[in-house]
Chain A
Amino acid sequence: EVQLVESGGGLVKPGGSLRLSCAASGFTFSSYSMNWVRQAPGKGLEWVSSISSSSSYIYYADSVKGRFTISRDNAKNSLYLQMNSLRAEDTAVYYCARDISSGSYFDYWGQGTLVTVSS
């Protein structure tokens, strides 16, 4: 059974940093591109970042470019999102999601982790 479990969310002050993790199991992690998608409270879904299976290709939404860094460790079956210079508008539930091929749709999602940016 495919499982994606996010962790690392919490309350952080504006300008602060946070690192999210996503632990994957039930599939060959190193064969799939992975993504972060976020959802602000009461709002819609926003794609944040994608990383290809071997980390060769990385993409970011303009809203996070230069502040967030996506990475993965295939040996640990883990996906990460380093978030720096956090702003109030980054407050959201962050989901990790598997995509069926690079730049595609998302067939499995984690349960999400809440990041709150507030003083």
Chain B
Amino acid sequence: DIQMTQSPSTLSASVGDRVTITCRASQSISSWLAWYQQKPGKAPKLLIYKASSLESGVPSRFSGSGSGTEFTLTISSLQPDDFATYYCQQYNSYSLTFGGGTKVEIK
């Protein structure tokens, strides 16, 4: 199975900060990577697919980049609604696997 490693596991930031989360795959997954946002008690919400494609309705302050084994999710200017946990997911092959998550907290 392909292992997905996210860093950091927790991130403290302020409103207006630029935030970057990294996801590394244990082998190449081309661009078959998605990012999700999850708030407490809620289902995950799709943000980015195919590494850099923004899901419809998602604010443009979210962006994704990378290919192969290294990927990043960037929030250009953190908003109060963005404090949540973020997960990457590879869909290059079964078993589909998620990263361990990055919790973005208020500094």
A residues whose Cβ falls under 8 Å from a Cβ of B: 35, 44-47, 50, 59, 61-62, 95, 99-100, 103-107, 109-112
Contact = CB atoms under 8 A, between A and B. Distances in A.
A47 B95 contact: yes
Contacts of B46: 105-107
A59 B91 contact: no
Contacts of B82: none
Interface of B: 1, 34, 36, 38, 42-46, 49, 55, 87, 89, 91, 93-101
B100 A47 contact: no
B86 to A, nearest CB: 11
Nearest to B43: A109
A51 to B, nearest CB: 12
Contact of B94 (A44, A46, A59): A59
Given A46-B98, A47-B96, A109 B91 contact: no
Contacts of A46: 98
Contacts of A62: 1, 95
Contacts of A61: 95
A44 B91 contact: no
A46 B94 CA distance: 12
Contacts of B100: 44
B91 A104 contact: yes
Contact of B43 (A44, A50, A100, A111): A111
Contacts of B45: 109
Interface-centre pick from B44, B49, B96 (highest chain A CB count, 10 A): B96
B91 A50 contact: no
A95 B93 CA distance: 20
B87 A103 contact: no
A44 B98 contact: yes
A105 B95 contact: no
Contacts of A99: 91
A95 B34 contact: no
